[in-house]
Amino acid sequence: MGKDRFVVNPFGDLQLSDADKEGLRDLAINFIDRNIQKYEAFIGSDGAKVDQKKWKLVKSKDDARVYLERDPAVLTTTAGFKVDHPELLMTGITWGTVDDCMFGAVNPTLESMRIRASYVEDMSGGALLACLDEPTAEDPFKSLNVKWMEIDLPFSSTSLVKNRDYVFLECTKIVRLSNGERVGVMIMHSVGFPVTKRLPGRVRGNITVCTIFRQIGPDTIELYGSGIIDAGGEVIKSLVVPSIASGYLSTLKYAHCSKMKKMTWMLAKRYAMAKELGAPTRPSVCVTCTTPISKVRMGDYGKSESNACKLCVGHFCRSCRIQRKLTFVGSDMQLEQRKVSFCGLCLQQVRTMSPMEVAREHAVGSTAMPDSSYASTTSEIETAMVQRCDSAPYASLSSTGTSNNKYTIDVRSGLEHFTQQTPRALAREISSVPSICIWCTVDTGT
C-alpha cells in the first residue's frame, strides 16, 4: 500500500442535497434487504452447500472460498452490445466475533481508511468523497459514505493493462435476520455523479457486493459474500476476476484489523496512565514462562531490542517475546508501521476483549489514536501502570461493585491480571489497597 495513494479527493467537491442523501440511504437499505433475503435462502436450503454445477471455484484461502457463476445471464445494453456480468459468491468461516469483524470493517474517515488498508490490504489507494452517516456511541458500527478506491492489477505498469477504480457507496451496520439473529453487514455499491469523472490512466469499474458476518460459535464467524462485477472486457477478465476474488478474501483479515486497532487503543490507554501514575518496579522474571532474567541478560538483551511487554510492562525472555506490526498516524498525518513487543497473555486478552468500548470511543472521538512517537519510546510506553510495590510475593483481592466496576486481582510473582472496563478508574481504586505489587493487563471482554 503506497503511503501517498490515499488522497483527500481526486475530484471536485461532491455536494449532495438532502434528496441525494435520502436516495443513497434508500439504495443502501434496499440493497441490504435483498441480500439478507438471499442469504437466508442460502443458509436455509441444503445446509448452505454450494452448487458446483452453478459455481466455479476461482480462489480460496484458509477456510474461505470464492466462486464465479459459470453461466451468467447475458444482457443487451441500450447501444445494442451484449454483456455478461458474472456473479461472485463467497462462503467460509474465520475466527472472531461479529463485533470484531465490524470493528475491522468500519472506516468512516480517510485516516481510518488508510489504517484499515494497511492491515487488510483491500485497496491500493482511495479517498472519502462524502459522509452521510457517522458511527455513534449507540451504534458504533453504522456508517454510510461515498468513496473512491483504486485497485492495482498485474502488469499495470505496462501499456497493456490499466488499473481499475471505483466510485461507490459503502455502508456498514448491524441488522437482524428474520429469526432475530444479529449479523454484521458491509456493502459496496457503485454510484456516479457528474463531478466524479473518469480519471486518466484508469478504467472505471462497477462493483456491487455485500458481505455478511454471522456468529456460529464462541470464536467462529460464518462469512457470506455475494456480488456482481464488471470485468471491463473478455481480454483482461482473467486478471480482474482474481483481483476481485482477493478483495473478497480480504474480509478474512477484518478480525485481525480489529485486534490491531484494539492493541493501538490499549497502548493509548497505557500511555495516558503512565503519565498520570508513573512506572512500576518489575520483577526480573519472564511474565510468560517465569524464567529468571538476570541483570546481565536483561542489559545485553535491552541493547538491541525491547525486553518488556508494551501493555503489562512485564519482562520476557527471548523465546516468549512476540512482535506485532502496528500502524500509527504521525503528527505529519503520514502512516508509519512499527514492530511493537508484547507478551502472549496480553495478546490473547486483546484478542478476546470486546471491541465495543473501543468502537464507541472512536465514534465520539474521546480517545485520540496514538502516533508512532511513543510506540518506539521505551521510557514512556513502559510506564504503563501504577507504581506500588511491596515485598509480598503473593496477594489476592476480589471485589464487586457496579456492573461497570468489577474486577479480580491475582498477583503472583509480581504480575497482576484483572478484568475491568475503565482501567484508569480501577487503577485509582486499587491504589488504596496496601501491600500488593501491581502489574496490569486489561481484558475488557464480557
Write out the three cell numbers for 172.
456498514
* pLDDT score, position 72: 75
CB 409 within 8 A of CB 420: no
CA distances 298 to 110, 400, 432, Å, are 41, 38, 32
Write out the three cell numbers for 382.
513502559
* pLDDT score, position 371: 46
Structural domains counted in the chain: 2
Nearest to 62 by CA among 305, 255, 228: 255
* pLDDT score, position 234: 55
Q: Which domain holds residue 39?
A: 18-255
Report if residue 442 sits inside a domain.
no
Q: 405 and 319 in one domain? A: yes
Task: Give pLDDT < 50 ranges for the chain.
Answer: 1-3, 79, 81, 296-305, 366-446
Q: 404 and 319 in one domain? A: yes
CA distances 403 to 1, 115, 399, 419, Å, are 43, 33, 12, 12
Q: 197 and 249 in one domain? A: yes
Report if residue 182 sits inside a domain.
yes
Q: 215 and 85 in one domain? A: yes
* pLDDT score, position 236: 61
Report if residue 437 sits inside a domain.
no
Q: 151 and 62 in one domain? A: yes
Q: Torsion angle of alpha carbons 312, 313, 318, 322, nearest 10°?
A: 40
Q: 240 and 102 in one domain? A: yes
3-class DSSP state of 251: helix
DSSP assignment of 55-78 equals EEEEEEETTEEEEEESSPPEEE-T
3-class DSSP state of 112: helix
Domain end marker among 221, 255, 289: 255
Report if residue 79 sits inside a domain.
yes
Report if residue 272 sits inside a domain.
no
Report if residue 12 sits inside a domain.
no
Q: Which residues contact 46 (CB under 8 A, 6 or more apart)?
A: none
Q: 324 and 198 in one domain? A: no
Q: 211 and 80 in one domain? A: yes
Q: 139 and 83 in one domain? A: yes
Report if residue 144 sits inside a domain.
yes
CATH classification of the domain holding 233: 3.30.530.20
Q: 126 and 36 in one domain? A: yes
* pLDDT score, position 271: 83
Report if residue 7 sits inside a domain.
no
Reported pTM: 0.76
* pLDDT score, position 384: 34
